[in-house]
Chains A and B, each alone.
Chain A
Amino acid sequence: MAVVTQVLQSEWTKIKSVRSTVWTLGLAVVVTVALGALISALSKNEFDKLSTREKLTFDPTFTSFAGMGLGQLAMIVFGVLVVSNEYSTGMIRTSLAAVPQRGTFLFSKITIAALLAFVVSMITSFVAFFVGQAMLGDLKAALGDPGVLRAVIGGGLYMTLITVFSMGVATMLRSPMLSLGILMPFFFLISAILGNVSATKKVGQYLPDQAGQKVMQVVTFDDDAPYGPWGGFAIMAVWVIAALICAYVLLKRRDA
Chain B
Amino acid sequence: MIELEGLTKRYGEKLAVDHLTFTVRPGIVTGFLGPNGAGKSTTMRMMLDLDNPTSGSVRIDGRHYRSLRDPLKVVGALLEAKAWHGGRSAHNHLLCLAQSNGIPRTRVREVLDTVGLTSVAKKRTKGFSLGMGQRLGIAAALLGDPEILMFDEPVNGLDPEGIHWIRNLMKNLAAQGRTVFVSSHLMSEMALTAEHLVVIGQGRLLADTSMAAFIAENSRSYVRMRSPDHERLRDVLSGAGITARPASDGSLEVDDEDAPHLGELAARHRITLHELSPQRASLEEAFMQLTAESVEYHAHDGRPPEEVPPGAPAAPPGGRPGWGADWRKKGA
Contacts and interface: CB of A to CB of B under 8 A. Distances in A.
Nearest to B95: A13
Nearest to A11: B96
B61 to A, nearest CB: 15
Contact of B88 (A1, A11, A18, A100): A18
B102 A96 contact: no
Interface string A69-103: 00000000000000001100111011111111100
A14 interface: yes
A255 B45 contact: yes
Interface string B52-83: 10000000000001101111100101011011
A21 to B, nearest CB: 10
A169 interface: no
A11 B102 CA distance: 13
Interface in A187-209: none
Contacts of A20: 87
Main secondary structure of the interface of A (DSSP, over half): helix
A10 B97 contact: yes
Give the interface size bracket for B toward A.
Answer: 20 to 34
A180 B140 CA distance: 31
A20 B52 CA distance: 32
Interface string B82-118: 1111111100100111011110000000000000000
Interface residues of A, number: 31
Contact of B84 (A1, A90, A255): A90
A31 interface: no
A97 B50 contact: yes
A17 interface: yes
Given A17-B89, A20-B87, A10 B52 contact: no
Interface of B: 45, 48-52, 65-66, 68-72, 75, 77, 79-80, 82-89, 92, 95-97, 99-102, 140
21 contacts: A2-B101, A3-B69, A10-B99, A10-B100, A13-B99, A14-B85, A14-B88, A18-B87, A85-B85, A89-B82, A89-B85, A93-B45, A93-B79, A94-B97, A96-B48, A98-B71, A98-B97, A99-B71, A100-B68, A100-B71, A101-B66
